[in-house]
Structure 1
Amino acid sequence: MKKIILFTILSMMLFSCDKEKKSSFKIGVIADCQYCNCDIKWDRYYKKAPQRLKEAVATLNKDSLNYTIHLGDFIDKDYNSLDSILPTWKTLTSKSYHVLGNHDFEVQDSLKEKVLEKLNIKKRYYSFVEKDWRFIILDGNDLSFYGTTSKEKAHQTDSLFNQLKDKNLPYVQKWNGALSNKQLNWIQQELDKAVQQNQKVGFYCHFPIFPVDQHNIWNREQFLSLIKPYKNVKLFFNGHNHAGAYEFVDNVHYLTFKGMVDTENTSAFAKVKFENDTVFVEGFEREISRKLVIK
């Protein structure tokens, strides 16, 4: 009888370990590489970005990562800057994804769509599934004064900005942007799919939702109202605020990763390990290591 009980306990333990192993995975995260052949400004050392990216990729390639994601502002300006750093990015041994940032569109109007082609982005916002997670990549430049590529979106941008500009909101700045109604409707569809398929949800965006400061997307309140009923939303990872930030609100971890381009002698990037009920952020150089409990 004791042997049967012991065998049962061991079987349960092995099953639990196997289940946890199957649901765990690791990724690489970089924010604001922001290369250009430019002089130093705002403590951003633009010319050092290629070497920092090369060193980060070398470190990430030492691990077995499911994918690596860049959280926007891959370049600062000048379309040709992409040719200086994409060869390094393409040496990643993992799958890779890009989020669009405001500076990625600081190129000639005729080249804005070509930025997407260069970065191998087929759609400005999209999603993918990894194990039991659905990751939703947002385009915070969807409505913006620099990133729109249609007259319809330009009109929507003007309309929304004019509605908000007199409300004394710190983030209603022309260097930020917003999610269009079309994108918000698509997000709801993605959240519904995640519920149906019993998936946890993580968002990637260039612009933060929390903390409230001069970096947020304009219609953050609309976004928060949309996700509030969905208890499977667990993470929101972003860049844009190069100093980094973190808040835990309504059981969602809002984490802003530090900008790689900043400071004279240090870089910033991370590996992130997803386990059943915990996400471990292993920060390198200026990036902070964290343990995020998933409730």
Structure 2
Amino acid sequence: MKKLSILLVLLLLISSCKNKIKTDFKIGIISDCQYCNCEIKWNRYYKKSPQRLKEAIKELNKDSLQYTIHLGDFIDKDIKSLDSILPTWKTLKSESFHVLGNHDFEVEEHEKEQIIEKLNIKNRYYSFVRNNWRFIVLDGNDLSFYGAITPDKKKQTDSLFNSLKDLNLPYVKKWNGGLSNTQIDWLKSELEEAQQQKQLVGFYCHFPIYPIDQHNIWNRTQFLEVIKPYKNVKFFFNGHNHAGAYENINDIHYLTFKGMVDTENTSAFATAKFTKDTIFIEGYEREPSRKLVIQ
């Protein structure tokens, strides 16, 4: 009887460990590495980014991460900038993903498709599932004056921008962008599938939704209407505003990560540990640590 009791306890412990492995995981997050061989501008130390990226990846490689994601503006301009940082990025031990930023398209017109290929992005917007989470990567450059590549997308860009430019909105700037109707329709199908699968949803994008300022995605109002019925949406992580920001709106965490390229002597990156009811952000250097409770 005593041996049976010990066996039952061991089985319960094994089961508990398995559940923990299944539900808890950690990821790496970097934003706005934004390298180019350029002089300092707007407190951005472009030439220091390769070393900062190297140091961040060295730290991230100490951990067991499900994946690492860069939230856009991997380079500032010039396709040759990738030659200085892609080899370092490829030393990541974890799986890795990229979000497209506006500066990633600051290359020659014929090189824009090459940028996407070099970053190993098969689709400009996409999703992937890890544990009970569906992570949706948006392309905020889908409609934009630098990232819209096809004639049809360029026409849609003009149409969206012109429909908003007289509304006195702070974020209707030519350095931002928007989501096409095709991407919005895809997004709706992703949300429906996540709801059917009982998955939690987190978004990655270069452009923020909140707080409202000069950095937001153009059709943020349309996006908010789309996600409104889905109570499984839990966070929206982005870059673009290098100062960083945070708001909790309707139990959704809108978090802007600080730019790695900024300041003379400090970097910024983070890990995020996902548990059953909390996302623990562990910030490095300028990036603050946070506890994001999942309601």
TM-score, normalising length: structure 1: 0.96
Task: Specify the SS of the correspondent of 2:85.
Answer: helix
Aligned to 1:30: 30
Equivalent residues of 1:26, 1:272 under 8 A apart: yes
Aligned residue for 1:47, secondary structure, equals helix
Q: What letter is aligned with 1:99?
A: V
The corresponding residue for 2:209 is 209
* Distance across 2 between alignment mates of 1:287 and 1:216: 20
The alignment status of 1:121 with 2:115, answered yes or no, reads no
Distance 2:246 2:193 in 1: 28
**Residue in 1 that maps onto 2:223:** 223
Alignment of 1:182-193 (within 5 A): 182-193=182-193
> For residue 101 of structure 1, what is the amino acid of its counterpart?
G
How far off is 1:20 after superposition? 3.5
Pair 1:130-2:101 in alignment = no
> How far 1:156 sits from its partner (Å)?
0.5
Q: Deviations over 1:250-292 (max 9, x none)?
A: 1100000000000000000001100011000000000000000
Give the Å deviation of 1:22.
Answer: 1.2
Which runs of at least 4 in structure 1 moved beyond 6 Å after TM superposition? 4-14
SS of equivalent to 1:270: strand
Identity over aligned pairs, percent? 71
Bigger shift: residues 276-285 or 17-26: 17-26
- Per-residue deviation, 1:196: 1.1
Q: Cα 1:167–1:9, aligned 2, differ >3 Å: closer, same or farther?
A: farther
> SS at 2:96's partner residue?
strand
Give the Cα–Cα distance (whole angstroms) in 2 for the partners of residues 178 and 5 of structure 1: 61
- Unmatched segments (≥5 aa) in structure 1: none
Distance (Å, rounded) in 2 between the aligned partners of 1:231 and 1:158: 33
Query: Please, what is the CA RMSD of the aligned residues?
Result: 1.9
Cα deviations by residue, 1:84-119 (Å, 9 ceiling, x for unpaired) = 100000000000000000000000000000000100
TM-score normalised by length of structure 2: 0.96
In structure 2, C-alpha distance between the alignment counterparts of 1:191 and 1:123, rounded to whole Å: 18
The code of the aligned residue for 1:60 comes to L
Query: Residues 280-295 of structure 1: matches in 2 within 5 Å?
Result: 280-295=280-295
Amino acid aligned to 1:95 = E
Q: What's the offset of the Cα at 1:5?
A: 11
1:34-54 Cα deviation digits (max 9, x unpaired): 000000000000000000000
Q: What is the count of residue pairs matched by the alignment?
A: 294
Aligned partner of 2:43 in structure 1 is 43
SS at match of 2:170: coil
Return 5+ residue gaps in structure 2 as ranges: none
* Letter of the 2:241 counterpart: N
**Matched-pair contact (CA < 8 Å) for 1:200–1:233:** yes
What residue number does 1:177 align with? 177
* Rounded Cα–Cα distance in structure 2 between residues aligned with 1:252 and 1:292: 9
Alignment of 1:156-171 (within 5 A): 156-171=156-171
Q: Is the 8 A contact 1:20 1:276 kept in 2?
A: no
> Whole-Å Cα distance in 2 between the matches of residues 16 and 70 of structure 1?
33
Question: 1:146 corresponds to which residue?
Answer: 146
Supply the distance in 1 between the matched residues of 2:286 and 2:10 (Cα, whole angstroms): 42
Checking the alignment, whether the CA contact within 8 Å between 1:279 and 1:293 is kept in structure 2 is yes
In structure 1, what residue type is equivalent to 2:184? L
Q: What secondary structure sits across from 1:141 in the alignment?
A: coil
Report how far residue 6 of structure 1 moved. 12
CA distance in 1, matches of 2:133, 2:286: 27
